[in-house]
Copies of this chain bind each other. A is one copy, B any other.
Amino acid sequence: MHKIFHPFPFENKISISESESKHLCRVMRLTEGSQVLLLDGDGRKGLAEITLANPRKTELKIIEIDKIERRANFNLTIAIAPTKNIDRFEWFLEKSSELGIDRIVPILSSRSERKIIKPERLNKILISGVKQSGQYFLPRLEALTSFEDFVANNNPGFIAHCETGMKTLPFTEAIKNQTDINILIGPEGDFTSKEVSFAKASNYEEVTFGKSILRTETAGVYCSAITNALL
């Protein structure tokens, strides 16, 4: 069934946006009487029927509202430096939203080459990943935050960088028995040793993703895959 993101509460009669209406009528070719699913991104699911199929302003009538419970086993925050090539960051968002992630904090670190992101476009990618993979919870994309501010204002978690030795804790071990996972992933040029020291002084623990040196976006997707698989 076609899914539409719509903020809660779902009123009894709902008008949807022009772009969504156009998609519904012109691309999906849905007509009056067809059913669609409204999602609020926070677990609410509203079964609705099209009462007016108008490509400018389609109207829906709510039939039934359900609430899906959020998984209780873990909460995953990835604080990650957006990549110079935005496609790579967008891939990370798409794949992580398919796999399951709760919160993404784009961070600005000393070696960040990308200093601007477009939240609206990035949120659309998250919505599409969530729809695609049959989930009900939309990951929260926060504003671009400095590395130091993030570390100062969040409970300590893990930091991944390329200078780790053989004895560094593997991420797979680090997350065992944890419920709130919070991991810092650096830009293409890696975190500086000053940043690593700053995080460690704030009780962040260094972790490794194995023998390969992963690109920023691959590291992000790896964390989403492993957390969802192991917790």
Binds B, one of A53-61, A94-102, A194-202: A94-102
Knowing A172-B230, A222-B225, the reply to whether A98 touches B135 (Cβ < 8 A) is no
Pick from B170, B215, B218, B228: contact of A210, CB under 8 Å: B228
Q: Which chain B residues border A171 with CB–CB below 8 Å?
A: 229
Task: State the Cβ distance, A110 to closest chain B Cβ, in Å.
Answer: 22
Q: Mark A115-146, 1 if CB is under 8 A from B, else 0.
A: 00000000000000000111100000000000
Of B95, B134, B214, the contact of A99 (CB 8 Å cutoff): B214
Contact with B along A64-101 (1 / 0, CB 8 A): 00000000000000000000000000010001001110
Query: A212 interface residue, CB < 8 Å from B?
Result: yes
Docked-complex contact B212 and A221, CB < 8 angstroms:
no
Inter-chain contacts of A210 with B (CB < 8 A): 99-100, 228-229
Q: Does A152 contact B (CB under 8 A)?
A: no
**CB <8 Å contact, A225 and B225:** yes
- Do residues B91 and A213 form an inter-chain contact, with CB atoms below 8 A? no
Complex Cα distance A213/B133, Å?
Answer: 4
* Partner of A95 from B172, B221, B228 at Cβ < 8 Å: B221
Asked whether, in the complex, the Cβ of A212 is within 8 Å of the Cβ of B228, the reply is yes
CB distance from A75 to the nearest CB of B (A): 16
- Which residues from 203 to 231 on chain A have a C-beta closer than 8 Å to any C-beta of chain B? 209-215, 218, 221-222, 225-226, 228-230
Residues in chain A within 8 A of chain B (CB atoms)? 91, 95, 98-100, 132-135, 170-172, 209-215, 218, 221-222, 225-226, 228-230
A-B contact pairs, 21 of them (CB 8 A): A91-B91, A98-B212, A98-B215, A99-B214, A99-B222, A100-B210, A100-B211, A133-B212, A133-B213, A134-B211, A134-B212, A134-B213, A135-B211, A135-B212, A172-B229, A209-B229, A210-B228, A210-B229, A212-B228, A221-B225, A226-B229
